[in-house]
Chain A
Amino acid sequence: DAGVIQSPRHEVTEMGQEVTLRCKPISGHNSLFWYRQTMMRGLELLIYFNNNVPIDDSGMPEDRFSAKMPNASFSTLKIQPSEPRDSAVYFCASSFRQTQETQYFGPGTRLLVL
């Protein structure tokens, strides 16, 4: 059974460009999470969806970040315009139920904004 799939695995872009990260959760999971990992701040939850509906986006750093989940099998995280401080590894995770259930992480997208 396939795990969480993320694309691209690596992205290098220039400041000001739009970046779109993609995630396919595990089939049957109804919760999806976007995290950002940096050396300075560790692992931060950006946004959480339940049944395709955004539940908590309090971790989204600013309006340049947006996330969508148009259906149960696909989600995007968009940064527009990108800045060098957005450089990080972005993880998507999914789980079957939101209450105390294991989250399954994708391999991450390593983003570098020059």
Chain B
Amino acid sequence: GNSVTQMEGPVTLSEEAFLTINCTYTATGYPSLFWYVQYPGEGLQLLLKATKADDKGSNKGFEATYRKETTSFHLEKGSVQVSDSAVYFCALSRSGGSNYKLTFGKGTLLTVNP
């Protein structure tokens, strides 16, 4: 079946540090890939997405490239801010007739210190 594996946290960084959160997936067909972010006390928000191989999703300084050869979708940001502290979820949507279903990773807690 479909699955998403992301690096376990927590991740603690200083402001302006470089961020990488690894995500790999297992899926049949050609899924779309997503990163969602959950700020404390809130629901998940879409951060970025990519729908086909080699696509790069980007938003708010975050980037992730859909790598089919390595089945990966790693999240990166060149310079994190305190306001980026949140839980980050990698997810995929199943291709084919049931595209609705998102499969989420366990989430990675990021804490950015000033």
Could you list which residues of chain A lie within 8 angstroms of chain B, going by C-beta atoms?
A: 4, 31, 33, 42-43, 45, 48, 50, 55-56, 91, 93, 95, 98-100, 102-108
With a CB–CB cut-off of 8 A, which chain B residues contact A45? 101-102
The answer to whether B32 and A100 have CB atoms under 8 Å apart is yes
**A107 to B51 alpha-carbon distance, docked (Å):** 26
Closest A-chain residue to B100, C-beta based? A98
Q: How many A-B residue pairs have CB under 8 A?
A: 48
B104 at the interface (CB under 8 A from A): yes
B43 at the interface (CB under 8 A from A): yes
Give min CB distance, B25 to chain A, whole Å.
15
B17 at the interface (CB under 8 A from A): no
The secondary structure that dominates the A interface is strand
The answer to whether B44 and A105 have CB atoms under 8 Å apart is yes
With a CB–CB cut-off of 8 A, which chain A residues contact B44? 43, 91, 93, 105
**A48 to B49 alpha-carbon distance, docked (Å):** 21
With a CB–CB cut-off of 8 A, which chain B residues contact A33? 100
With a CB–CB cut-off of 8 A, which chain A residues contact B51? 100
**A29 to B42 alpha-carbon distance, docked (Å):** 20
**A98 to B107 alpha-carbon distance, docked (Å):** 23
The answer to whether B99 and A105 have CB atoms under 8 Å apart is no
The answer to whether B89 and A43 have CB atoms under 8 Å apart is yes
With a CB–CB cut-off of 8 A, which chain A residues contact B46? 102-104
B71 at the interface (CB under 8 A from A): no
The answer to whether B43 and A31 have CB atoms under 8 Å apart is no
The answer, among B32, B42, B49, B105, for a CB contact under 8 Å with A107, is B42
Give min CB distance, B103 to chain A, whole Å.
8
